[in-house]
Structure 1
Amino acid sequence: MLKQTVIQHTALAKSGGATRIASLLYEGLKKSRYQTIHSFEASENPGDRLISPEKAARAVPENSIVHLHSSADPAAFLSSLPKQTKVIITLHDTQMITGGCSYPLSCTHFDKKCFDPCPRKFPDSETVRKKNISALLDSEAVIISPSSWLARLTRKADKHISVKIIPNGIPWPENMADKKKARKKLGLHPSSKVVLFIAHGGQSAGYKSGPDWKNYWNMIKTKVPEAVGFAIGGDKNSREGDFLSIPYVDRRMLRQFMLAADVFAYPTLADNHPLVILEAMSCGLAPVSYAVGGVVEQIASGVNGILVPPYEKEIFADKVSNLLNNQRQAREMGSQGFHGGGKKYKNIRMTNNYIKIYDNLAYF
């Protein structure tokens, strides 16, 4: 078999779960029999020019396997690929099966095939939905979902779409790190009770309840007066009492915060198979999350974290507070998450599962 090229394509060169998975696969394939390229349509560097989806697709070499993770216009990208291109698509949210939204949440229009007018004001939502789904089917792509939840939604969007499930994976350390050392590096007292809120966009992250983080914190602080809270991922540094807001930090520094914390508070309103929960588990950090989307496939409530009925804010704050007051239980859950997650969510396993798909495409 000739050595083929696998193109890992994303809309953005940096940030986001789709880009992270594409980058991990890019690195994992370097030691395989496949050449690999990470292509993209835009970066977060102000001086870089936007490349149209059509132009990015037309630049794909012949005899390549294209692995699409995201695009500004997936239908335009797929329809512009060279003929006979073999395609894999990983769905990281619902944008490729809706008229524009990343997650339908409580929108009843998803069940009605996004009939116009769209309540979220996406223009021509039903036309866009039809175009996206037609492109998925016409490309004859292998469709991958990291979660069973999104796979079910995809089949619901169109019964003709076949979906395989490959859970996300990340680099996983062999041993749990020392929490005391991490706290010392951050200047935290060894007995501190530390809770983290994390999301790209910080307190502006709507799907992650970012605008409500301070309300959650106030409820937690009332129940655990000695608690210290960090909100990570925004665009500025600020402090209100024991609640500290921190802008985007690199992955190494984020890991230090996760290692130092007792509880990861993740009041997400919708999610596929979030990498941030896997990252918390890889640090031995117990997550508390709403039982939405693919999160329920990651967290076994009471074992490696806690699931809360969706959008029950007071219950959520209570569960976080109870874990902060019971650090031994939090550590036990963190240990369960670390060891259990290491068996299921290593990036090596994810890469090998994708290589099987590439092999099937390369031979036929």
Structure 2
Amino acid sequence: MPKPLNIVLLSYHNQNGGAGIACGRLAEALKKAGHQINYLVQEKTGNDESIALNNSPVKKAMRWLRFILERLAYLPFEKNKAVRFLFNPGKFGQDLSQHPLIQQADIIHMHWVNFGMLSVQNIKQLLDTGKPIYWTLHDMWAFTGGCHHSGECLNFQASCGNCQEFIKNPSTNDLSHQIWQKKFKAFQASNLHIITCSDWLKERAMSSSILKNQPIQSIPNVIDTEQFKPSDKGKAKKTLGLDPSKKHILFVAMRVNAPKKGFSYLEKALQGLDKTTTELIVVGNAQDLPELHLKAHVLGHISSPEKMIQIYQAADVFVTPSLEENLPNTIMEAMACGTPCVGFKIGGIPEMIDHAVNGYVAEYQSSGDLTKGLSWTLANAPEAAARHKAESSYAEAIIAAKHVNFYTHVG
């Protein structure tokens, strides 16, 4: 075993959101691998071992103020309300470079650090310590002029500017170009190493003007396959009050009506399924859910991991019709529970779902192909293949070893 490392992980949140959950799981995997882990977060919930940076009334007030100031900095430029939280200027944050745990660390490993946690300047301050800095990207923000996902726009390959999607008055020297300039100057450091959760995001980072000269490694997120595991499907259905004689399709989203979650495509796809044998399970905020072809069991927000595992175990197929994704934790969780998955051919999804092996990869934005994928998966029930994918690709020991290898051979 390599020499134990002193690693500090930085994340906005410890339990909320995909990036926070992924960082927390990595912290646990690295700890199990024998390394000393300190996990600093901007906002903490629950009772895990993460350390809240803002643990007093004054610091909590400052955290909230930084968040507000970050929004206000963008407000005069935002194209419309729909993009308000999809673009971050990276102007406000806190200097952590002198924090005792940062000073003692062998490795500093950042994850999602926006919303007033770290500004572009604060990230440069960490780089200026000279310590090896690793940054797991959960979206594109590190190499764009402020957006988290650029869609079809490729301006990040040059110098941003003329931002049609997020800026009210696009121009050559608009806010996106100004932010790009700051990042380009700040992130050209020899001690910066990039980790992406998918090959798709790695290719985008490698093609970016900001990060193309940095070491970039693709390492997927991690899942505890001893916690997320299959169980008796019929028993799980009965416990949840579901009919064991029916097939159940699971859809999960924090907000079901968020446009990028693609529920409208699923709504159309469900029309091609037999409503006498198939039902839908919806987890998340499902206000204004339309009348659907299939009977829907709306379970609302689920905060208990044990309850969520039970839901995965009860489902016959998990579907994610998202229009933008990196490497969804939900697919990983479903597969670990032996539930095959269906999703669109976008982002990192085709890397997770092996087409017609452990699920089905549908053509992008094709409700018809989504119907075909759900039908194929329900008919073939590749549950063992789904579990094998999780065990062979995302298990704790595997992912921890990949991170340590990158720490020790590049840092």
Q: Give the 3 Å change call, closer, same or farther, for CA 126–118 of structure 1 in structure 2.
A: farther
Answer yes or no: is 1:342 the counterpart of 2:391: yes
Give the CA RMSD over aligned residues: 2.9
How far apart, in 1, do the equivalents of 2:5 and 2:208 lie?
33
Q: How many residues get paired?
A: 353
Corresponding residue of 1:62: 103
Corresponding residue of 2:73: none
Larger CA deviation: 100-109 vs 270-279: 100-109
Unaligned runs of 5+ in 1: none
Contact between 2:325 and 2:346, CA under 8 Å: does it hold in 1? yes
Corresponding residue of 2:350: 296
Corresponding residue of 2:15: 14
How far apart, in 2, do the equivalents of 1:112 and 1:358 lie?
29
- Residue 179 of structure 1 and its aligned partner are, at CA, apart by 0.7
How far apart, in 2, do the equivalents of 1:263 and 1:34 lie?
37
Corresponding residue of 2:270: 220
How far apart, in 1, do the equivalents of 2:38 and 2:222 lie?
20
Q: Give the 3 Å change call, closer, same or farther, for CA 117–94 of structure 1 in structure 2.
A: closer
Answer yes or no: is 1:204 the counterpart of 2:257: yes
Q: Deviations over 1:8-53 (max 9, x none)?
A: 1012233122212221222223345532111122346997441763
How far apart, in 2, do the equivalents of 1:100 and 1:246 lie?
35
TM-score (normalizing by structure 2): 0.77
Q: Give the 3 Å change call, closer, same or farther, for CA 188–144 of structure 1 in structure 2.
A: same
- Residue 68 of structure 1 and its aligned partner are, at CA, apart by 0.3
Amino acid at match of 2:398: R
- Residue 163 of structure 1 and its aligned partner are, at CA, apart by 0.7
Contact between 1:237 and 1:244, CA under 8 Å: does it hold in 2? no
Q: Give the 3 Å change call, closer, same or farther, for CA 146–179 of structure 1 in structure 2.
A: same
Corresponding residue of 2:146: 100
Contact between 1:239 and 1:245, CA under 8 Å: does it hold in 2? no
Amino acid at match of 1:311: Q
Matches within 5 A, 1:119-134: 119-121=165-167, 124-134=175-185
- Residue 114 of structure 1 and its aligned partner are, at CA, apart by 2.0
Q: Give the 3 Å change call, closer, same or farther, for CA 74–220 of structure 1 in structure 2.
A: same
Unaligned runs of 5+ in 2: 47-53, 67-91, 169-173
How far apart, in 2, do the equivalents of 1:28 and 1:142 lie?
20
- Residue 131 of structure 1 and its aligned partner are, at CA, apart by 2.5
Corresponding residue of 1:30: 31
Which of 341, 351, 357 is 2:400 aligned to? 351
Matches within 5 A, 1:238-277: 242-249=295-302, 250-277=304-331
How far apart, in 1, do the equivalents of 2:148 and 2:183 lie?
13
How far apart, in 1, do the equivalents of 2:166 and 2:330 lie?
27
Q: Deviations over 1:201-222 (max 9, x none)?
A: 2313333224x2xx62354145
Amino acid at match of 2:280: G
Which of 146, 157, 161 is 1:115 aligned to? 161
Task: Tell me the percent identity.
Answer: 24
Secondary structure of the residue that 1:253 maps to in structure 2? helix
Secondary structure of the residue that 2:298 maps to in structure 1? strand
Contact between 1:144 and 1:164, CA under 8 Å: does it hold in 2? yes
Matches within 5 A, 1:147-166: 147-158=198-209, 159-166=212-219
How far apart, in 2, do the equivalents of 1:43 and 1:340 lie?
31
How far apart, in 1, do the equivalents of 2:311 and 2:221 lie?
22
Amino acid at match of 1:121: I
Corresponding residue of 1:230: 281
Larger CA deviation: 135-144 vs 268-277: 135-144
Q: Give the 3 Å change call, closer, same or farther, for CA 87–153 of structure 1 in structure 2.
A: same
How far apart, in 1, do the equivalents of 2:313 and 2:181 lie?
45
- Residue 80 of structure 1 and its aligned partner are, at CA, apart by 2.3
Contact between 1:236 and 1:246, CA under 8 Å: does it hold in 2? no
Corresponding residue of 1:40: 41
- Residue 183 of structure 1 and its aligned partner are, at CA, apart by 0.8
Amino acid at match of 2:275: P
Contact between 1:92 and 1:272, CA under 8 Å: does it hold in 2? yes
Contact between 1:146 and 1:166, CA under 8 Å: does it hold in 2? yes
Amino acid at match of 1:220: L
Corresponding residue of 1:86: 132
Q: Deviations over 1:165-191 (max 9, x none)?
A: 212220113963211111111111211
TM-score (normalizing by structure 1): 0.86
Q: Give the 3 Å change call, closer, same or farther, for CA 181–15 of structure 1 in structure 2.
A: same
How far apart, in 2, do the equivalents of 1:92 and 1:136 lie?
17
